[in-house]
Amino acid sequence: MVIILLLLIAIGLLLAFTRWKTSVIERDAPGIGELIDVGGFRMNSVLLPAGPAADLPPILFIHGASGNLRDQLFAFRGALQGRADLLFVDRPGHGYSERGGPENGFPDGQADAIARLMDKRGIDKAIIAGHSFGAAIAASFALKHPEKTLGLLFLAPATHPWPGGIAWYYRIASTPWLGSLFARLFSLPAGLAMLDAATHAVFAPNPRPADYDENTAPQLVLRPKTFVYNAIDIANLNIYAARTAPLYGDIRTPAVIVTGDRDDIVAAEIHSHGLAVSIPGAKLLTVHGLGHKPDYVTTGLAIAALEWIAGHPVDLAAARTEAQQEVLSATSICR
């Protein structure tokens, strides 16, 4: 009887902590975009309009797993603001976007939602830039909405089926009923304890910017509902990629893939190389010593790729060489 009582007290304390800490996280990292109805649910996004000297078409940025729009916003705003209409989105169920229906547990459902958001934002066509999981959505977007796709930028993409499974906590969290209970009890206390090491690991072997966590609020994914939605996304990706990857050859738009040979999050030889083989004319830019965050570590190369996609006379090989030198220099400094 005493053991049961202690267990109930522990569960109550964990539930109370999660509720309190969720409110603290949302107070410290409030929504910075605009919520817009896209057909039964609302998506959050930030639109930075082009300036008078704009030289690029609209660009839409799609963040990866466990992220939110702040991730791409802080990577690219400083270098690109004014040059184009820039649209940064919280994917359905992430950041401050509502989840919508079960179709949003798959990249094509999220691609459709983003296409509707583009319409509401007055953007007819755009270059679609996707990082990691966001690259699977970018590829699906090009397949389902080619009339809206001016080009594709894949950054450390996760787009193909891979051997093995997913982390045990994602398996549990993606399980109906059990996942919700697990997230409400454990995702916040355990996640907060691991967050700093986790964000360093995403950048490894490259240095993580000192203000990265402060700027991008990765703790938003630890809120119970978001944690479950993120787990469902990840649990669904492998089977979705298995049936979708054979269709990538139908993509007929300029595409650039920026990847690193030290990416321990997604395997470049499976995803990036797979895209380069599948998409006609795709350009593969591999940077030695680069991990999973080319958006931050080799921002200049990503921008050169966007310029090339837009038709500017850019030497991508030279841009890759410059990025390579920057990565090697930063690595030597860190040592």
Q: State the Rg of the chain over Cα.
A: 20
| H or E stretch at 199 | helix 188-203
pLDDT number for residue 334: 53
pLDDT digits (tens, 9 = 90+) for 142-167: 999 999 999 999 999 999 999 988 99
Assess contact for 160 and 154: CB atoms under 8 A: no
Residue whose structure tokens are 């054979």: 246
Cα 24 from Cα 28, distance rounded (Å): 6
Give me the residues paired with residue 173 across strands. none
pTM given for the model: 0.96
pLDDT in tens, 226-246: 999 999 999 999 999 999 999
Could you read off the pLDDT of 288-334 as tens digits, one per residue? Answer: 999 999 999 999 999 999 999 999 999 999 999 999 999 987 765 55
pLDDT of residue 309: 98
Percent of the chain scoring above 90 in pLDDT: 93
User: pLDDT per residue over 248-287, tens digit each?
Assistant: 999 999 999 999 999 999 999 999 999 999 999 999 999 9
pLDDT, tens digit, 9 for 90 and up, residues 25-44: 999 999 999 999 999 999 99
Residue type, 89: V
DSSP 55-79: -S--EEEE--TT--HHHHHHHHHHH
Q: Report how far residue 307's alpha carbon sits from residue 2's, in angstroms, rounded to the nearest whole number.
A: 67
Residue 331: the pLDDT is 65
Confidence of residue 19 (pLDDT cuts 50, 70, 90): very high
Q: How far apart are CA 228 and CA 181, in angstroms?
A: 10
Asked whether residue 5 carries a pLDDT value surpassing 90, the answer given is: no
Q: Are 297 and 75 in contact (CB under 8 A)?
A: no
Cα dihedral: 259, 261, 262, 265 (round 10): 50
- Retrieve residue 276's tokens: 């380069």
Rounded to the nearest 10 degrees, what angle do helices 2-28 and 188-203 cross at?
A: 50
Complete DSSP assignment for 78-94 = HHHBTTB-EEEEPPTTS
CATH 3.40.50.1820 given to domain 2-334: yes
Q: Give the mean model confidence (pLDDT) for residues 123-151.
A: 98
Please tell me the predicted confidence (pLDDT) of residue 332. 57
Residue-wise pLDDT for 47-94, tens only, equals 999 999 999 999 999 999 999 999 999 999 999 999 999 999 999 999
List of residues 6+ apart from 65 with CB closer than 8 A: 132, 133, 158, 230, 233, 234
CB 59 within 8 A of CB 306: yes
CB atoms within 10 A of CB 334: 9
